Amino acid sequence: MRKRRMAATTLDPSFNLQINGQESPHRGVVVAEIDGLIRVYKDGHVERPQIVPSVACSLAPELGVTCRDMIIDKCTNVLARLYVPNTDRLRLPLMVYFHGGGFCVGSASWSCYHEFLAKLASRLSCAVVSVNYRLAPENPLPAAYDDGVKALVWLTQQNFVPSNDWWTSKCDFSSIFLAGDSAGANIAYNVALSVSRVLEIKGLVLIQPFFGGERRTHSEKYTVQPPRSALTLAASDTYWRLSLPSGANRDHPWCNPVAKGAEELRNLRVMVCISEMDILRDRNLELCANLRSKGVKVEQLVCKGVGHAFQILNKSALSQSRVLELICHINNFMGR
């Protein structure tokens, strides 16, 4: 029997939890650290090394997509990066996208997201609004959810702003989808819970949604991760500890939607992309089953042989093949 080749999704430098209580010669005691991504000091200072380059909103002309940065809220410095296909087609669907990063790192200007979302806008022939929300631990949850709601309200208001005619005239504001990967998918899910009764949302696209719980799942305990995995169990625990309100544990409904108190999503189609080699695999499968039990229409895509964040962090042939499959499924989902 031939062994199936599996693509490990890794990030360099090493993405592992460091021991709390380390002493820094510059600021003192480090209370939390995920090496290469974030370091939190006892005095509240936070450092985020530039592990992924941030890029301007320019794109190659041959891609056929116009990209611009726009301000959503000056007071909180919430921004959006907008991708609009250069097409004569009117009534483009709108995708509001939230980047991943455990609520603590990441940016709409990260090169990996810039490339991926430009590709999505081009291949799906849709406008993409990539939201640069506030990060924890400086802004713990629900700050990211509040920014997501604010971004969605801002978007719907643009339909009535004549000065934005260069892109609004192309868009179908009755065809809005919320999407995101990892923590961004969690944000899309929780924003949908907040606005589904007052704003029309056509669907949710959740890519490897970042959820957790006090009880460990089989995939969390036994899925073997490479040394520089994009998401380890230790890193996941640290992200939740830095992001959740003080005193909350991982069974808080923002973290564990299957736990008691989790709300229902009614009258909304949901697509969930699950990675076979992701420690979140079983969480994602539980989410799908829980939503179906409440009458939600769920489409489930399992991407074989790839790990967490493969669509933005892995350039292997297998991962690129899975990216094309993912885009195809999203296109079919949004086209229904």
132 in Cβ contact with 147 (< 8 Å): no
- What does the alpha-carbon distance between residue 270 and residue 265 come to, in Å, rounded to a whole number? 9
Taking Cα atoms as reference points, which of 274, 308, 278, 307 lies closest to residue 288? 274
> What long-range pairs does 283-292 form, CB within 8 A, spacing at least 24?
283/209, 283/211, 283/212, 283/213, 283/217, 283/219, 283/220, 284/206, 284/208, 284/209, 284/211, 286/217, 286/258, 287/206, 287/209, 287/211, 287/257, 287/258, 290/257, 290/258, 290/262, 291/265
- What does the alpha-carbon distance between residue 33 and residue 31 come to, in Å, rounded to a whole number? 7
Selecting among 122, 182, 236, 319, the annotated active-site residue is 182
99 in Cβ contact with 184 (< 8 Å): yes
Beta bridge partners of 13: none
Per the annotation, the verdict on 182 as an active-site residue is: yes
Catalytic residues: 182
